[in-house]
């Protein structure tokens, strides 16, 4: 069993739809939870960062963490064609400079069509 499971999709939605992306994990030591967006032929870029359980909102994006269920989600409201990318969840059990030791999900390919 992988430490982090993410449905690879692909996911295709019409413009304006609400998108829900999810990951489950097995390592209860994970404390830092992130969502990255990766455009084709580019490196991942950080979208959302959450420490421990709870919700975090940034514009059209909302990240949720439920540590009791070992489940994290990313919601995208009013999705736009420019949101078309691969979305990766990532987690870490270490703080400080070791924070860079991330465990990633497989990534979900999202296409938002006009």
Partner 1 sequence: SAVISQKPSRDICQRGTSLTIQCQVDSQVTMMFWYRQQPGQSLTLIATANQGSEATYESGFVIDKFPISRPNLTFSTLTVSNMSPEDSSIYLCSVVRATEAFFGQGTRLTVV
Binding site for partner 1 (CB under 8 A): 4, 6, 8, 32, 34, 41-46, 49, 88, 90, 97-107
103-114: b (≥16 Cβ within 10 Å) or e: ebbbbbbbebee
Least distance (Å) between residue 42 CB and partner 1: 6
Least distance (Å) between residue 113 CB and partner 1: 22
Whole-Å CA distances, 63 to 1, 52, 57, 73, 98: 24, 12, 6, 6, 23
Least distance (Å) between residue 77 CB and partner 1: 23
Give whichever of 42 and 77 is closer to partner 1, judged by the CB atom: 42
Give whichever of 49 and 61 is closer to partner 1, judged by the CB atom: 49
């Amino acid at each position: 069993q992988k430490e982090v499971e993410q449905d690879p999709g692909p996911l295709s939605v019409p413009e304006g739809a609400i998108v829900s992306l999810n990951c489950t994990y097995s390592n209860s030591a994970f404390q830092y939870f992130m969502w990255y967006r990766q455009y084709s032929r580019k490196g991942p870029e950080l979208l959302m960062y959450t420490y421990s359980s709870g919700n975090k909102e940034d514009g059209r994006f909302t990240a949720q963490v439920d540590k009791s269920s070992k489940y994290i989600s990313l919601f995208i409201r009013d999705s736009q064609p420019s949101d078309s990318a691969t979305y990766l969840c990532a987690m870490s059990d270490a703080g400080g400079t070791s924070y860079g030791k991330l465990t990633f999900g497989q990534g979900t390919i999202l296409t938002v069509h006009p």
